[in-house]
A and B are shown apart, each in its own frame.
Chain A
């Protein structure tokens, strides 16, 4: 068996010089310190993305993106297709866990200041992927064409419509017309399975190449110091195998969630029916949705909702550009402001999400 593997390795090595890659990987180290555990969340996020791609492709074999057939095709997947229920349930759970892992990964990078020079592009690509992840969630939510998804998309796209100047055009572009219709479904399907995956894959390649090229970031206090044997771990095979172990555990959790709490389908969307009570977006949009509710109708001359959207937009841009305005961290100095902002953001998101859930 071993000789066969060696033969295969040699066959490839002769052609693509695998030796160089193995040498490169063998020299890569991951710093070991009290915050090392956060390094794993990038890999976990990637794992969920891989699951999404696989289950998404499987669903594509049966899914029909039209307002007449979408709901029925999902019904068919769940009741007639062998393990269709499992594939759909894993896709839905994995989507949520992907966003959760991405949130954790983003905040760990923020608190570790790993975005500092020279990793600004890694942060930017990561953030763009995070926004795309939210886009995946929004576009995928409508695809079952059920009552909840229909009205949540209506409310969600209405919020986009409130953006000054471009809002109305953006809303019409998202909906493919004035209202949420079959055209919206086709459009969201296009975004979900073609446009977003293409951009995401491009960003992911850059992100991973940069991680490999620049190595894994060290905490500020360890920067510039030669790490002794105890404080570093070879990327291959040690860190890679630990990553794999975590992926197995995560897969276990995913399987349990999918079997015990399978994704429900509800009732088919009826554009002429009145909206059911308590329409809420997915949990990862809930903090923004809840915040907008607390804005008064008018603040000075500007509409409350518009002001809220503008504030969230500004906060998002500020967040995206952290590596460029946090010059202290790049110089190896401590920047408490970023920590306070991060802590505030975490508390704000958790509290508002809970309030949105309960109220």
Chain B
């Protein structure tokens, strides 16, 4: 009996030992070994999403992960490559991440086109060494300890991303070797922006680098396909700023894009593709995006509208606006929905912006000036119209009138200058341009055009007279020939 019990115990022990050793041989021997020696890489890898999906170290490093024998496990004959260098890193990642079957096998729903996207990105340029590309997957995602982008410990998690990007983009020496003209203060600026402040305070909804620039498909800002190319910026910003639900908690308007698109700036940028037209960041800044303060609006607009801004700053309105805290340009022209300035804005009619503050009983001096200015610019416009009609009439009559036509440009230029001069709110200066430059020119044009039209009729009358004379001469000659021939015949 004792011997039977002995046999059972031994058999059981053998079973346990062989079971244990089988379990041990099924374990990832790379990880077992590296963990046992306290390697930091193994510690990081333990948190890695790949470890959790039972992906072995050998998937990236090669070798035999089943072998306990180090020589055998790390033998190049078994495909061991050691630490992948340069493009080898991304190649390892691409092997699985661009294969939808493999990704499905591991239960991942990540897109498999990252490699296509990164190949078109600015980061896929050759590095200064020339043997590899500038960034590898590990540059942003790390090598070991890779976690989901939604995991707060990920370097590409929204709150960590600005810092991750700034590792290179704030490195003057590194950036200089690739693009010396590219600023390196984006992160510093970002920290002062509304987006940056919120991000640093833990708001994951606030825009981070990837929201505006994209993630794998980051292109140069001068690339027409870039999300931050001037004509694409309004749409990029509107992804968040036109989303009422998304912006609900911030309590700000969501109609900026629709207003901008209908504005004179929006039409120039989005319909005419005029890159001189301002886009969102022209007024708000880009990395330091924030709404301009009341007192700086005229300076912001003045970056393009230099003369208007300068004239306004020297005008009596400047002090009054500052005192009453009126936003400068915005008070008359609005902001996102700025339309083409017309004469309607000026004067004392209901639609005129001047009448908001000036009336016959209140601020009367301005009321009188606005009235006179409007009358003067209206008369210039009417004279330009008449001059244009006369030119057209002369042209239709086939007259050469290019000189007068050229002068019409001067008249239109005077109209444009007078509109600028309005911002001085100085009637004498305004009159100088409208009368001396504009009305004087239109008067010359009208005179030339009328003279051309008169000339047209003179030509026709002249033709009738000359044709009559020549015909009479021809008839006389004909009669003379007949007379000669008759005389000859009778002879």
Contact = CB atoms under 8 A, between A and B. Distances in A.
A242 interface: yes
B410 to A, nearest CB: 17
Contacts of A78: 400
A256 B477 contact: no
Interface in A227-254: 234, 237-238, 241-242, 244-245, 248-249, 251-252
A75 interface: yes
A264 to B, nearest CB: 8
Contacts of A10: none
Contacts of B403: 75, 79
Nearest to A251: B470
Interface residues of A, number: 22
Interface of A: 75, 78-79, 85-86, 234, 237-238, 241-242, 244-245, 248-249, 251-252, 255-256, 259, 262, 264-265
B466 interface: yes
Interface stretch (B135-143, B271-279, B478-486): B478-486
A249 B481 contact: no
Given A85-B400, A259-B460, A245 B478 contact: yes
Contact of B477 (A75, A245, A252, A255): A245
* Smallest CB-CB A-B distances: 4 pairs: A78-B400, A79-B400, A248-B474, A259-B463
Interface string B443-465: 00000000010000001101100
A248 B484 contact: no
Which of A78, A238, A248: most chain B CB closer than 10 A? A248
Nearest to B460: A259
B477 to A, nearest CB: 5
A241 B470 contact: no
A265 B481 CA distance: 42
Nearest to A86: B459
Contact of B481 (A85, A238, A251): A238
Contacts, number: 51
A241 B484 contact: yes
Given A79-B402, A265-B400, A252 B478 contact: no
16 contacts: A75-B400, A78-B400, A79-B400, A79-B402, A79-B403, A238-B481, A242-B481, A244-B477, A245-B474, A245-B481, A248-B474, A252-B470, A252-B474, A255-B466, A259-B460, A265-B400
Contacts of A251: 470
B386 to A, nearest CB: 21
Contact of A249 (B401, B460, B474, B484): B474
Contacts of B485: 238
Nearest to B468: A252
Contacts of B470: 248, 251-252, 255
A326 to B, nearest CB: 36
Contacts of A238: 481, 484-485, 488
Nearest to A233: B485
B90 to A, nearest CB: 46
B471 A75 contact: no
A245 to B, nearest CB: 5
Contacts of A75: 400, 402-403
A245 B460 CA distance: 24
A245 B472 CA distance: 11
Given A78-B400, A248-B474, A255 B463 contact: yes
B477 A241 contact: yes
A75 B405 CA distance: 13
B406 to A, nearest CB: 10
Given A79-B402, A256-B467, A259-B460, 8 more contacts: A75-B403, A79-B452, A241-B484, A242-B481, A245-B478, A248-B470, A255-B466, A262-B398
B473 interface: yes
A112 B275 CA distance: 71
B174 to A, nearest CB: 43
Contacts of B473: 248
B3 to A, nearest CB: 107
Interface string B176-196: 000000000000000000000
Given A238-B484, A238-B485, A241-B477, A252 B467 contact: yes
Contact of B484 (A79, A86, A237): A237
Contacts of B474: 245, 248-249, 252
A45 B473 CA distance: 21
A255 B400 contact: no
B485 to A, nearest CB: 7
Which of B452, B459, B480, B485: most chain A CB closer than 10 A? B459
B484 A252 contact: no
Nearest to B403: A79
A259 B459 contact: yes
A262 B401 CA distance: 14
